[in-house]
Structure formats: C-alpha cells, structure tokens
C-alpha cells in the first residue's frame, strides 16, 4: 500500500511539473531561456534555442 501511495504522489508531482513549462520553441519558452543563465542550459536547450529563437 505504501508503494502505491508513493507512486501516485510521484506521478502527480511529475504531471504538475510538466504542465507548467511552456512548449519548446514558443515565444514564452524563448523568453524563459533568455532569462536562464547560459551555464544552466543543456546541449539540447542550446540547439532548440538556436533553431526556434535565433534562426526563425
């Protein structure tokens, strides 16, 4: 029973986190990335930023 409860809370937490972030490539996402320090970007973030925010 404890495992089931823990899994349910983990699933709910994950759903809440993914529901709050803007779609990659959207105007809101580009603005969010502009405010994020470049040292915190992943390689995928940098590629997506270049593709969707710089070379539109």
Q: What is the pLDDT of residues 32-45, one digit of tens each?
A: 999 999 999 999 99
- pLDDT higher at 1 or 16: 1
**Position 29 in a domain:** yes
CA distances from 21 to 24, 25, 33, 56 (A): 9, 12, 11, 21
Question: What per-residue confidence (pLDDT) applies to 15?
Answer: 54
**Position 7 in a domain:** no
**Position 3 in a domain:** no
Q: What is the pTM of this model?
A: 0.62
Range of the domain at 28: 22-56
> What DSSP character marks residue 52?
I
**Position 27 in a domain:** yes
Helical ranges in the chain per DSSP H:
2-20, 27-35, 43-49
Record the tokens describing residue 48, joined without a space. Answer: 């997506």
- The count of structural domains within the chain is 1
Torsion of CA 39, 21, 23, 48, to 10 degrees: 10
**Position 45 in a domain:** yes
């Amino acid at each position: 029973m404890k495992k089931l409860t823990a899994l349910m809370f983990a699933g709910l937490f994950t759903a809440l986190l993914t529901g709050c972030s803007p779609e990659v490539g959207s105007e809101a996402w580009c603005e969010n990335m502009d405010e994020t320090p470049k040292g915190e970007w992943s390689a995928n973030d940098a590629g997506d930023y270049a593709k969707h925010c710089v070379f539109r």
